[in-house]
Amino acid sequence: MGHEVWYASYGSNMCRDRLLAYLLGGRPEGARRSYVGSRTPEEPVDDITLELPGRLYFAGASPTWGGGVAFYDHDEPGPTAARAYRITTGQFADIAAQEMHRLPEPGDPIEEVIVGGLETGRHEAGPGHYETLIEVGRHDGLPILTFTAPHGYDAVPHTEPSAPYRAMLAQGLRESRDWSDERIDAYLSAAAASAGTGARRDVG
């Protein structure tokens, strides 16, 4: 659990309080569930802002927030605003587990993959919506990792995010980038512009 990485969030975890629910336990404002927290209940050592080279979009139907949730397609034109937190590989695995509605456990295969390194910069740990790991760069000698779905931007119907979820993303953008409300609204509206077609899928 001692190895460190940068976890790059492009969704609700850009809000520090929301991320801390995964690390320390608790229920984020507006969410319908509580979280047990990480096996190492400590706050991030540091955080930075960055832009990912891919595209943000919303899909599925979240039982936690209602409405669509954020995904990232590394192969589509971007950029995507993100906030990266310096945490341990164990904490990263614990966040991913809770995203997938699992309890954090020792020997998580995601943790083992990270320690071993992503040879191709991408690893599908499972079919779940946040089980595809992508290395998007390096900072201070450590990998910058994010997770998303195995499907891409064009592979699934897009859905509108709920007001509480969108508010959480807005708070994260405000905290990390000091954007105006107008700029935040324009950014999130652009990502949600293609919502409203096709059948819904339960995710998040």
The mean pLDDT value for 190-200 works out to: 64
Is residue 199, in this structure, part of any structural domain at all?
Answer: no
Residue range(s) defining the domain that contains residue 149: 4-191
Count: domains in the chain: 1
Is residue 202, in this structure, part of any structural domain at all?
Answer: no
- pTM of the complete model beyond 0.85: yes
Is residue 201, in this structure, part of any structural domain at all?
Answer: no
Write out pLDDT tens, residues 114-161.
877 776 687 776 666 787 899 999 999 999 999 998 888 998 999 999
Is residue 196, in this structure, part of any structural domain at all?
Answer: no
Write down the number of H helices and E strands in the chain.
5, 8
At 81, list the tokens.
């605003």
Is residue 200, in this structure, part of any structural domain at all?
Answer: no
Is residue 204, in this structure, part of any structural domain at all?
Answer: no
Can you give the CATH number for the domain in which 14 is found?
3.10.490.10
